[in-house]
Amino acid sequence: MSPLSRRAALAMGAGVLATRQACANTPADRPESGSLQQVSVLPVGDSLAQGLYLTLVPVLRRFQNVRLINGTQHATGLTRTDEHNWPTVSRDLVQRHRPDLVIYWIGANDFRPLVDRESRARYEFGGTAFRAAYGRRVAAMVAAAAEVRARPIWIGLPNMRNTPVASMAQRLNDIQREAAEAAGADWVSTWEATSDSEGRFLSNVTVDNLPRSLRADDGVHFTDIGYRRVAALALGSACSRHPELAPLLGRFGTAV
């Protein structure tokens, strides 16, 4: 690992630590926190979200007051509602489970044209029509969470090993962030945490003075350590932005 990569890894660890501390240091005696006896968390999305969910499952065993619900489906995306209609599926999920927190993480399969099933239109990736149609689907998913008073968080795509794919991920992040925030979701960026100090793909981090893999061999997904760090960012952000969740969710987040 180069000195630059070491510094980037240390910076990532510091960022995760900061979000954990934000979770842990939120006062537990806030007036609005007293009514919450249990916090339910619903990860929604493709295989990135699925990895996040599977990483959190063993942590959950130590916490009786945090309920984790699986709303993920691998090999899916927002570009093909004929294959998996995420706006409809996510609405059904939040209506059925009525979670306190929804964590959206999706897009690794969306570097392709978007197909409108009703009009049979096809919009090339990144174009104006693609941006508008994709943004509407993001907004619909966030709106569904808001309807049941869930707190929506949208995790951005990480840096990717393949440079052209990384460029597309950045473009998709711009679309997702604009639409998600406009619809009322909190945006959690993973780009800085998965890049070195020069913005390049970060594959390893230092744990106990030893290099450990952060990313899976495909350069898209994560190892267990990587998913835990993203989970810490997401849960730390949830505690910081929604302090009423912190008394219960904070303990869960700091254990990741």
Beta-carbon contacts of residue 62 (< 8 Å; ≥ 6 apart):
255
Helix (H, G, I), strand (E, B) or coil at 118: coil
The Cα–Cα gap between 103 and 112 comes to 23
Per-residue pLDDT band at 254 (split at 50, 70, 90): confident
H-state helical runs in 148-202: 163-182
- Choice among 14-28, 160-174, 236-250 with the minimum mean pLDDT: 14-28
243: left (phi over 0), alpha (psi -120 to 50) or beta: alpha
Beta-carbon contacts of residue 30 (< 8 Å; ≥ 6 apart):
243, 244, 246, 247
Task: Give pLDDT, residue 250.
Answer: 82
E strands present in 31-75? 39-45, 66-68, 71-72
Mean pLDDT for 73-98 is: 97
With 60 as the cut, is the pLDDT of residue 82 above it?
A: yes
Beta-carbon contacts of residue 162 (< 8 Å; ≥ 6 apart):
219
Query: Mean pLDDT score of the chain, rounded to an integer?
Result: 88
Please say whether the beta carbons of 81 and 87 come within 8 A: yes
- Choice among 28-32, 43-47, 186-190 with the minimum mean pLDDT: 28-32
Task: Give pLDDT, residue 63.
Answer: 87
Express each pLDDT in 142-155 by its tens digit: 999 999 999 999 99
Residue 119: Cβ within 10 Å count:
8
The one-letter amino acid at 133:
A
Task: Give pLDDT, residue 21.
Answer: 54
Mean pLDDT for 32-45 is: 80
3-state secondary structure 214-242: CECCCCCCECHHHHHHHHHHHHHHHHHHC
If we measure between CA atoms, which residue out of 18, 43, 23 comes closest to residue 242? 23
Per-residue pLDDT band at 28 (split at 50, 70, 90): very low
Instruction: Compare 118 and 226 and report the one with higher pLDDT.
Output: 226
With 60 as the cut, is the pLDDT of residue 19 above it?
A: no
Per-residue pLDDT band at 197 (split at 50, 70, 90): very high
> CA triplet 102, 216, 41: central angle to 5 degrees?
15
Phi, psi of 96 (to 5 degrees): -75, -40
If we measure between CA atoms, which residue out of 104, 54, 89, 50 comes closest to residue 73? 50
Pairing of the two strands 204-207 and 210-213: antiparallel
The Cα–Cα gap between 130 and 113 comes to 8
Task: Give pLDDT, residue 35.
Answer: 55
Please say whether the beta carbons of 71 and 42 come within 8 A: yes
With 90 as the cut, is the pLDDT of residue 172 above it?
A: yes
For the entire predicted model, the pTM comes to 0.88
With 60 as the cut, is the pLDDT of residue 36 above it?
A: yes
To the nearest whole percent, how much of the chain has pLDDT over 70? 86
Per-residue pLDDT band at 29 (split at 50, 70, 90): very low
Please say whether the beta carbons of 226 and 215 come within 8 A: yes
The Cα–Cα gap between 245 and 52 comes to 19
